[in-house]
Amino acid sequence: MANNNAFPPLDTSMNNAPRNAASPTSPHPGSAVNGNGAGPANYMATLPVGHQQDLNFLYAQIQELGGILRSNREKVNVITQTAEEVARRANGALGDGEGMPETERARMREIERELAKAKQLVEAYKHEQKENTNLIAMYEDALGTATEQIRNYCGGIEERFLAQRRHYNNLLQQEKDDHLQSRLEKDHWFAQTLKVCEMIRTAYRLRTEEWGEEYTIISALQAEVRCYRRLLGMEVERPEDETGWPYLKDLPLNDQA
């Protein structure tokens, strides 16, 4: 008997087969959501915790819808196969002969009503399948948009962080240069101060040694005068009243003994 298949079975091998159960945030080398792949160069940095949870939730919803869709397809295929079997039996009964008992005819009408209901249910499942497919496409588009926005957001944050680090490094280098310059200036002025001190010592030494011999003679004469006055029993003069006082008052050779 010819197989008049009025109910082609649905494809359960699924071109819309469940996608690889990988994390929505894991990089895919050759593809991306909705086929908008950027190849191996499309690298996405690690996402913050909140964005990761949102993507996991969207991915779980898509997986759940995919499971519901597969279950609906299996039910539709079972109903379609039952309807085909009923149709084959009806065609075989009509071909065998028309003298059918009333009970068989009633049974046939009951089967036809069930077949009509099954057809209506199949149409409803097909419509639901189409709606689910559209919903999955919407979720994929939303996921792709969210992924792109998150990637741009993370890229912007990374760029701002790098700019801040460059600015900080520039400020740190400038501070180091200023500190080094101040130390060099300090060393320079310290060396100049040492030179000035040495020049002052030299000038003082030269000034002291300029009249050193004369001051020695004056100091010796003044000491001799003091000795004579003590020998003669004269009153000791005050240092301010001595003849050599104007010359000896600022010298360490001034001996009052």
Band (pLDDT 50/70/90 cuts) for residue 246 is confident
Domains in the chain: boundaries = 33-176, 211-248
From the list 198, 203, 204, 201, the residue with the least C-alpha distance to 251 is: 204
Band (pLDDT 50/70/90 cuts) for residue 40 is very low
The predicted structure's pLDDT at residue 90:
65
Class of the 33-176 domain? mainly alpha
Higher pLDDT, 116 or 19: 116
The predicted structure's pLDDT at residue 93:
53
42: left (phi over 0), alpha (psi -120 to 50) or beta: beta
The Cα 150–Cα 34 span in angstroms is 17
Asked which of 41-55, 112-126, 208-222, 226-240 is least confident by mean pLDDT, the reply is 41-55
The predicted structure's pLDDT at residue 252:
55
- pTM for the model stands at 0.34
| Phi and psi, residue 70, nearest 5° | -65, -40
The predicted structure's pLDDT at residue 59:
85
